[in-house]
């Protein structure tokens, strides 16, 4: 009898547990059904550098210069897709936009930073030319004259280095041909020059570069570049002397310094005010 009684109690207890589980499931189901659905927010996609550059151009045309500056800064940010592929020419847009926005000091600091980061001759020449344009737009014509002369120096360095590189490539090609045999069209190609090591240089761009170096380092070539800015700087009385001094400076050394170029202009400014 005790066994039967115990068995009945167990069945009752099991029934209570079943009811409890059923009730829990019902309440849980109702809670889930009545819960507010979670709003899934889509992560905003960051625009690519090229897209931002186009937007900056549009903002500039609309004369919304401050916004254009901000957009360019976003384009140049390291986390922006494609920013690592941007050229120096793209980065030099920022100081021009800053100038339009009245941020001249910030623009000049930015160009100096670029000059510090980009040490190759091609970049130096590009930055110097942009600094010249910047000063001209500010109507600081004497300073613009200094940077016009500086730009001539840096462009000469660029072209001279390009000529040297062309010869280096010609020497490497000649060494390769001696080891593995020449190219079939060697006899048909025009020899532009013979390198210092006695190898033929077939690079047609060498002739253009060397001609430009020769012209830009003459008084005539320097005058053609400086005549306009000398006039704006109201230093036409010294045009001949300035060009001769720069010509002599260029030919004396390839190790040009901005301070020395500035001294050339400064010497004539002192004469004028004396």
Averaged pLDDT, groups of 10, the chain, 274 residues long: 46 49 53 52 75 96 97 95 94 97 96 94 94 96 97 96 96 91 71 96 95 96 97 96 97 92 90 54
pTM, full prediction: 0.77
Q: Same domain, yes or no, for 104 and 174? A: no
Distance CA 155, CA 226 (A): 14
Say what the pLDDT of residue 181 is: 78
The tally of domains found in the chain comes to 2
Structural domain of 197: 158-250
Say what the pLDDT of residue 107 is: 97
Say what the pLDDT of residue 25 is: 57
Is 257 contained in some domain? Answer: no
Q: Same domain, yes or no, for 97 and 175? A: no
Residue 109 makes CB contacts below 8 A (sequence gap 6+) with none
Is 237 contained in some domain? Answer: yes
How long, in residues, is the chain?
274
Is 181 contained in some domain? Answer: yes
Is 106 contained in some domain? Answer: yes
Say what the pLDDT of residue 248 is: 97
Using an 8 Å Cβ cutoff, are 202 and 169 in contact?
no
How far is CA 1 from each of CA 4, 5, 7, 14, rounded to the nearest angstrom?
5, 6, 10, 20
Q: Same domain, yes or no, for 99 and 180? A: no
Say what the pLDDT of residue 104 is: 96
How far is CA 33 from each of CA 24, 41, 127, rounded to the nearest angstrom?
14, 21, 66
């Amino acid at each position: 009898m005790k066994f039967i009684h115990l068995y009945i109690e167990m069945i009752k207890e099991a029934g209570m547990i079943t009811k409890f589980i059923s009730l829990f499931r019902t309440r849980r189901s109702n809670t889930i059904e009545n819960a507010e659905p979670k709003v899934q927010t889509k992560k905003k996609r960051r625009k690519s550098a090229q897209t931002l550059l186009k937007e900056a151009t549009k903002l500039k045309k609309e004369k919304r210069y401050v916004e254009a500056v901000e957009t360019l800064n976003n384009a140049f940010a390291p986390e922006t897709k494609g920013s690592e592929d941007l050229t120096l020419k793209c980065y030099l847009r920022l100081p021009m936009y800053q100038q339009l926005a009245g941020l001249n000091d910030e623009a000049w600091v930015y160009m100096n930073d670029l000059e510090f980061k980009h040490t190759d001759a091609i970049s130096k020449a590009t930055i110097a030319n942009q600094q010249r344009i910047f000063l001209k737009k500010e109507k600081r014509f004497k300073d613009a004259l200094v940077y016009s002369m500086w730009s001539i120096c840096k462009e000469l360095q660029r072209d001279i280095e390009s000529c040297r590189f062309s010869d280096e490539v010609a020497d490497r090609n000649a060494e390769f041909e001696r080891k593995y045999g020449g190219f079939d069209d060697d006899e048909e190609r025009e020899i532009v020059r013979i390198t210092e090591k006695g190898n033929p240089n077939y690079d047609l761009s060498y002739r253009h570069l060397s001609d430009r170096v020769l012209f830009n380092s003459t008084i005539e070539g320097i005058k053609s570049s400086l005549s306009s800015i000398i006039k704006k700087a109201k230093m036409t009385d010294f045009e001949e002397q300035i060009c001769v001094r720069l010509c002599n400076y260029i030919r004396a050394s390839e190790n040009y310094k901005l301070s020395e170029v500035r001294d050339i202009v400064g010497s004539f400014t002192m004469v004028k005010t004396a």
